Chains A and B, each alone.
Chain A
Amino acid sequence: MTFFNTEITWFLDVYILLILGYAILIMSSYLILAYLSTKELRKYLKRNSFVDYDVLLTSEFAPKLSLIAPAYNEGLTIEENVKSLLSLNYNNYQVIVVNDGSKDNSMEILTKTYDLVLTDLEFHPKIETKKIRGIYTSRNAAFKKLIVVDKENGGKADALNVGLNIAQNPYVVCIDVDCILDKDSLLKLAKPFLESYGKRIIATGGVVRIANQCVIKNGRLVEVNVPDVMLSRIQVLEYLRAFLLGRMAWGKLDGLLLISGAFGAFDKEIAILSGGYSTKTVGEDMELIVRMRRYMLDNKLSYSVSYIPDPLCWTEAPEDFKIFKKQRSRWMRGTIETLSIHRRMFLNPKYKLLGMLSVPYWTLFEFLAPAIEFIGLVITAVFILFGLLNWHFFFLLLLFVYTFAVLFSVIALYSEEKTYHKYPKQADFFKLLMAAFIEPFYFHPLTVYAALIGYKEKMMGTKGWGEMTRKGFTKK
């Protein structure tokens, strides 16, 4: 019995040490990234205040872009969304809308609104895709930038690959058709492609923010509001943390593994040489970036991935738990699939910072974190059951994690306040502050649960996206 007690004490000690070690590691990494991000963000804003984007507007030497917007059952909003894509502040660009076998009337709406006719556009497909039913252009000169491709359903990645095959310009911008883009978003996204001499910029990505309850007029965001619904409100805070305090630092370190599928630009040649979007994963945005980077490193080519911290793209966040769960479990599946496809990169010095830091970080803190948390909960439950739990220590640990979570959200609010100040209304600020206090009890368990569902789906071999219904934005 004494031996048994010694064993338990030893196990408890090790367990506490492991938990604390993991918590300290994750917290320190967050703080380091936040520090680097804030520093870099300030530098960027200083630099940016002297940038004249008009030179890109007026020059024929501005990078030529092809916007690829895959659409599946977007009939409700497609007319206005395409209109807003056609009216962006940029000259050298074309818009390719890929109708991915929608079951609704998307194609009819597009044909009628934009006066589309079948065309014999010549292109040489480099990536295999599902069958294309037809390529359409407009008879109306006002829409000469628009190409609509009607194809059989093959998923988002397949639709994006069709766009890559058809795009006539050297850079492609992949977007979600239902996103609201800032009018100058293309100017900002294109600039990095011109900036690096000797190093090839293979991709640039911008910040995505939540548009729920914001006011949209003629496809443009005219008023920023913080949502009343708690689930989407906390996602505003979550996106602030991710984009303002995380990705900027990874961008600075040139270790970004993800450019949001909602809005990112790619060097078409490298994207095609790397094989285009993978149709075998639901995390095709992350997987493409990792594969493009891997291609450059394998071929010893000098490259970089650039990150623009300006809020360029606004998207609708899920407002009910069912849809939120689907989205987050899919994200987790995407992460698992990408890390599994590129497992050779893990701690592989050949892949430099990517292999030694980015991939291990994602594995430890993005992929494994929910599992570690779940195991912790189970062990705690067992301790309670056997009367082994030191309640004082337990509450102290809980408070430690909770106060850090609140602090990190407040840092995000501070960073937002000192940089973009997109939520100037006092009420909005207090709504976000309140969300920071509620999040650890309400939102965080939901994300862990959704991630666990993601693990389960991956183990069961679930494929595909599942339906993601959207409410649509408030329009003026």
Chain B
Amino acid sequence: MIEFWELYKNGQWEVPFLTFSIYLFVAASLILYLIIVASRNGKIKKERLTKEYSVVIDKIMSDVVFEEIPFTEVKKDKNFLVLFDTSFFREVLTDSLINLHKNYEGVYAQKLEQFYKDSGLIKDSFKKLKSLKWEVKCKGITELSEFNIKEAFDQIIVYSKARKKTLKIVAINAAIKLEGTESIKYLVEHSDPIDDWMQLNIIGAFKKHDIGDTEGIEHLLESQNMTVVTLGLKLIKELKLSQKVPHVAQLAAQTTNTIIKYEAQSILQTLTA
């Protein structure tokens, strides 16, 4: 550095600067090239392993779902145990399990839930909730809610107040799946605005998980936060909750906010038509 400063002072810095920069650019290009090659090889290896694991997993899942073989039997297979020790295999297994669970209902779904608990994959999911990385937390929340682990509700609902918006949305969606309206009651006291995207996600979660019990949604209309009131109105409209008409009518009569008044009147018209 001192040498370079001396060169600069002598007015002879250009050539060493250019030479150094050229070496730097070449070295950086070479390093990046090697990283790209390594990354591509890594992806190829991952793809190959996923294919190999999928064959094993498909066989196990078929046994579990259709042959009623419990996990205690599955783990007697030494090859399986070796694979089960690797985190990537567990990752692929969890993803397969989730995909299957999304496609099955009733007894088959219950068998998959049982496998998730017995195999200890549930512990992995709970561990993910404690991660410092929000995206890992999101993954854990998604897994736990997919398999209807109601015991996770108390931990998940905490994240519905997180500052990270994505984590917040994932947590609320999961909580709605697990406990329905119970999970949005706290929104009545919510002071921050809830944007349209988050509102759409909450409505989407109610529709997707077919939440029948809508007791308490009307409390959203009592909030001082206008975005929460809007959410309440939208929920009532989308879920066609005609039993909430008296609450909407009351809001339309009492509110001083013209936009809310207009929205409430429009919903009243739709629901009473």
Binding site for B on A (CB under 8 A): 16, 20, 46-47, 49-52, 54-56, 58-62, 191, 193-198, 392-393, 396-397, 399-400, 403-404, 406-407, 410-411, 413-414, 417-418, 421, 424, 426, 429, 433
Q: Does B39 touch A at the CB level, under 8 Å?
A: yes
Q: Does B83 touch A at the CB level, under 8 Å?
A: no
The answer, among A20, A198, A400, A413, for a CB contact under 8 Å with B193, is A198
Give the distance in Å from the alpha carbon of A195 to the alpha carbon of B227 in the complex.
13
Q: Is the CB of A418 within 8 A of B39?
A: yes
Contact flag A407-B29 (CB < 8 Å), given A50-B135, A59-B238, A399-B22: yes
Query: What are the residues of chain B within 8 A of A392 when measuring CB–CB?
Result: 15
Give the distance in Å from the alpha carbon of A422 to the alpha carbon of B170 in the complex.
28
Main secondary structure of the interface of B (DSSP, over half): helix
Q: Is the CB of A54 within 8 A of B204?
A: yes
Q: Does B26 touch A at the CB level, under 8 Å?
A: yes
Q: Does B86 touch A at the CB level, under 8 Å?
A: no
- Report the minimum CB–CB distance from A294 to chain B (whole Å): 26
Q: Which A residue sits closest to B199, measured CB to CB?
A: A61
Q: Does B51 touch A at the CB level, under 8 Å?
A: no
- Report the minimum CB–CB distance from A343 to chain B (whole Å): 35
Q: In this complex, which of A59, A60, A399, A421 has the most chain B Cβ atoms within 10 angstroms of its Cβ?
A: A59
- Report the minimum CB–CB distance from B9 to chain A (whole Å): 15
Binds A, one of B30-38, B55-63, B72-80, B251-259: B30-38
Residue pairs across A and B with Cβ atoms less than 8 A apart, 23 shown, are A51-B166, A52-B204, A55-B200, A55-B204, A58-B204, A59-B203, A59-B204, A60-B238, A194-B195, A194-B196, A196-B195, A197-B194, A392-B15, A393-B18, A399-B22, A404-B25, A406-B25, A406-B29, A407-B25, A417-B39, A424-B43, A426-B40, A433-B33
Q: Which B residue sits closest to A417, measured CB to CB?
A: B36
Binding site for A on B (CB under 8 A): 14-15, 17-19, 21-22, 25-26, 28-29, 32-33, 35-36, 39-40, 43, 135, 138, 142, 166, 169-170, 173, 193-197, 199-201, 203-204, 207-208, 227, 234, 238
Q: Which B residue sits closest to A433, measured CB to CB?
A: B33
Query: What are the residues of chain A within 8 A of B35 when measuring CB–CB?
Result: 414
Q: Is the CB of B200 within 8 A of A61?
A: yes
The answer, among B39, B197, B207, for a CB contact under 8 Å with A194, is B197
Give the distance in Å from the alpha carbon of A47 to the alpha carbon of B165 in the complex.
9
Contact flag A396-B22 (CB < 8 Å), given A52-B204, A195-B196, A410-B32: yes
Query: What are the residues of chain A within 8 A of B208 when measuring CB–CB?
Result: 54
Q: Is the CB of A410 within 8 A of B40?
A: no
Query: What are the residues of chain A within 8 A of B18 when measuring CB–CB?
Result: 393, 396-397, 399-400
Q: Is the CB of A55 within 8 A of B203?
A: yes
Q: Is the CB of B201 within 8 A of A55?
A: yes
Q: Is the CB of B29 within 8 A of A403?
A: yes
What is the count of residue pairs linking A and B with beta-carbon distances less than 8 angstroms?
105
Q: Is the CB of A46 within 8 A of B135?
A: yes
Q: Which A residue sits closest to B170, measured CB to CB?
A: A50
- Report the minimum CB–CB distance from B125 to chain A (whole Å): 15
Contact flag A16-B14 (CB < 8 Å), given A55-B204, A59-B204, A195-B197: yes
Query: What are the residues of chain A within 8 A of B196 when measuring CB–CB?
Result: 61, 193-195, 197
Query: What are the residues of chain A within 8 A of B193 when measuring CB–CB?
Result: 197-198
Contact flag A56-B200 (CB < 8 Å), given A197-B193, A197-B227, A421-B43: yes
Q: In this complex, which of B15, B26, B36, B170 has the most chain A Cβ atoms within 10 angstroms of its Cβ?
A: B36
Query: What are the residues of chain A within 8 A of B36 when measuring CB–CB?
Result: 410, 413-414, 417, 429
Query: What are the residues of chain A within 8 A of B26 when measuring CB–CB?
Result: 403, 407
Contact flag A59-B200 (CB < 8 Å), given A20-B14, A50-B138, A197-B193: yes
Give the distance in Å from the alpha carbon of A62 to the alpha carbon of B201 in the complex.
11
Query: What are the residues of chain A within 8 A of B28 when measuring CB–CB?
Result: 407, 410
Closest 4 CB pairs of A and B: A55-B204, A194-B196, A403-B25, A194-B197
Give the distance in Å from the alpha carbon of A421 to the alpha carbon of B42 in the complex.
13
Q: Which A residue sits closest to B192, measured CB to CB?
A: A197
Give the distance in Å from the alpha carbon of A392 to the alpha carbon of B36 in the complex.
34
Give the distance in Å from the alpha carbon of A51 to the alpha carbon of B138 in the complex.
11
Query: What are the residues of chain B within 8 A of A421 when measuring CB–CB?
Result: 43
Contact flag A52-B201 (CB < 8 Å), given A407-B25, A410-B29: yes
- Report the minimum CB–CB distance from A405 to chain B (whole Å): 9
Query: What are the residues of chain A within 8 A of B21 when measuring CB–CB?
Result: 400, 403-404
Query: What are the residues of chain B within 8 A of A62 when measuring CB–CB?
Result: 200
Q: Is the CB of B32 within 8 A of A411?
A: yes
- Report the minimum CB–CB distance from A80 to chain B (whole Å): 33
New A-B contacts (13) at CB < 8 Å, excluding given A55-B200, A191-B197, A195-B195: A20-B14, A50-B170, A52-B201, A55-B201, A58-B204, A61-B234, A194-B197, A392-B15, A400-B18, A400-B21, A403-B22, A404-B25, A424-B43
- Report the minimum CB–CB distance from A12 to chain B (whole Å): 11
Q: Which B residue sits closest to A192, measured CB to CB?
A: B197
Q: Is the CB of B15 within 8 A of A393?
A: yes
Give the distance in Å from the alpha carbon of A351 to the alpha carbon of B8 in the complex.
38
Query: What are the residues of chain A within 8 A of B142 when measuring CB–CB?
Result: 50
Q: Which B residue sits closest to A414, measured CB to CB?
A: B32
- Report the minimum CB–CB distance from A34 to chain B (whole Å): 11
Q: Is the CB of B15 within 8 A of A396?
A: yes
Q: Is the CB of B22 within 8 A of A400?
A: yes
Give the distance in Å from the alpha carbon of A184 to the alpha carbon of B43 in the complex.
25
- Report the minimum CB–CB distance from B251 to chain A (whole Å): 18
Query: What are the residues of chain A within 8 A of B197 when measuring CB–CB?
Result: 191, 194-195
Contact flag A393-B14 (CB < 8 Å), given A50-B135, A61-B234: yes
Give the distance in Å from the alpha carbon of A424 to the alpha carbon of B41 in the complex.
11
- Report the minimum CB–CB distance from A421 to chain B (whole Å): 7
- Report the minimum CB–CB distance from A319 to chain B (whole Å): 27
- Report the minimum CB–CB distance from A25 to chain B (whole Å): 14
Query: What are the residues of chain B within 8 A of A61 when measuring CB–CB?
Result: 196, 199-200, 203, 234, 238
- Report the minimum CB–CB distance from B220 to chain A (whole Å): 15
- Report the minimum CB–CB distance from B32 to chain A (whole Å): 5
- Report the minimum CB–CB distance from B145 to chain A (whole Å): 12
